[in-house]
């Protein structure tokens, strides 16, 4: 494949679409910002792309819960087209609010099974806005991280509902299955928000559907981290997440 094509959703409270588009454009792929209403009216657009990004923000003001309204719109108005897109190997990333949407859609941890994971309020009960260090799990199968040779990466987080919780009384079983399948992608280096085993991101069993709470699109250049101001336009590790999936799709 010469140049993969991606749709980046926008509208109704999504607020990171421009940074996300820049990340894909930097990866030498064709990226287009599409308002959610446009996609709902023209769902066949999904037939002509290889990837879909659900950026961060507060879609629909988090009414009914974070990501709930957007997930319902996708589920009931795009269901068949969306399922075809997934079945044909479409790559999907959900960042922060987008991750919440993927979980509510049941695409994570496995769209073929009953949903066993949710995102709940941070254990502190407060909105968190800070930089964190996360670690790539060495056994992950995630296609969005294939170019991340250094296992540690610093990224910003900004969320109030980012704590990963498993179905009650099945925590150990669920976690062990994710480990066995290589579905745990990132873990925080400290207890940031109370997530089970400090999980920051997971993928589905194909490694193509990926959700995480930190914002890689906010760290495309070293200068965006206050520690590296002198090397502003040097490529940062956040960019490598987008480079990874484009590299994978080009060589698949």
Q: 29-62: b or e for each residue (b if 16 or more CB lie within 10 Å)?
A: bebebbebeebeeebebbeebbbbbbbbbbbbeb
Give the number of other CB atoms < 10 A from CB of residue 65.
Answer: 13
Q: What is the dihedral of CA 77, 83, 85, 89, to 10 degrees?
A: 160
137 is catalytic: no
Q: Which is the catalytic residue, given 142, 215, 222, 247?
A: 215
96 is catalytic: yes
Tally of structural domains, the chain: 1
CATH number at 118 reads 3.40.50.880
Sites in the chain below the pLDDT cut of 70: 1, 58-67, 227-230
217 is catalytic: yes
Q: Which is the catalytic residue, given 161, 217, 222, 247?
A: 217
Instruction: For the chain, give the number of residues.
Output: 252
Strand partners, 34: 9
Q: Between vectors from CA 239 to CA 213 and to CA 230, what angle results, nearest 5°?
A: 110
Do 119 and 66 meet the contact criterion of CB atoms below 8 Å apart? Answer: yes
In this predicted structure, what is the pLDDT of residue 64? 44
Q: Which is the catalytic residue, given 17, 29, 81, 96?
A: 96
pLDDT tens profile 45-61 = 999 999 999 998 755 45
Could you tell me how many helices (H) and strands (E) the chain has, helices first?
7, 11
């Amino acid at each position: 494949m010469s140049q993969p094509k991606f749709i980046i959703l926008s509208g109704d409270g999504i607020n990171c679409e421009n940074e996300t588009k820049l990340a894909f454009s930097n990866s030498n792929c064709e990226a287009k910002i599409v308002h959610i209403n446009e996609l709902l009216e023209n769902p066949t657009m999904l037939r002509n792309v290889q990837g879909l990004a659900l950026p961060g923000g507060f879609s629909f003001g988090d009414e009914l819960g974070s990501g709930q309204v957007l997930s319902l719109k996708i589920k009931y108005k795009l269901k068949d087209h969306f399922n075809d897109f997934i079945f044909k190997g479409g790559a999907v990333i959900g960042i922060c609010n987008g991750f919440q949407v993927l979980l509510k859609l049941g695409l994570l941890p496995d769209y073929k099974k009953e949903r066993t994971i949710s995102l709940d309020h941070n254990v502190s009960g407060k909105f968190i806005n800070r930089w964190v260090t996360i670690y790539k799990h060495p056994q992950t199968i995630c296609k969005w991280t294939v170019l991340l040779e250094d296992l540690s990466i610093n990224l910003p987080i900004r969320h109030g509902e980012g704590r990963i919780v498993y179905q009650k009384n099945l925590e150990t079983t669920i976690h062990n299955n994710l480990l066995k399948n290589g579905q745990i992608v990132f873990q925080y280096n400290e207890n940031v928000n109370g997530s089970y085993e400090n999980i920051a991101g997971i993928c589905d069993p194909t490694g193509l559907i990926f959700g995480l709470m930190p914002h890689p699109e906010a760290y495309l250049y070293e200068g965006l981290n206050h520690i590296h101001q002198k090397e502003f336009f040097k490529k940062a590790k956040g960019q490598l997440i987008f480079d990874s999936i484009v590299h994978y799709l080009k060589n698949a």
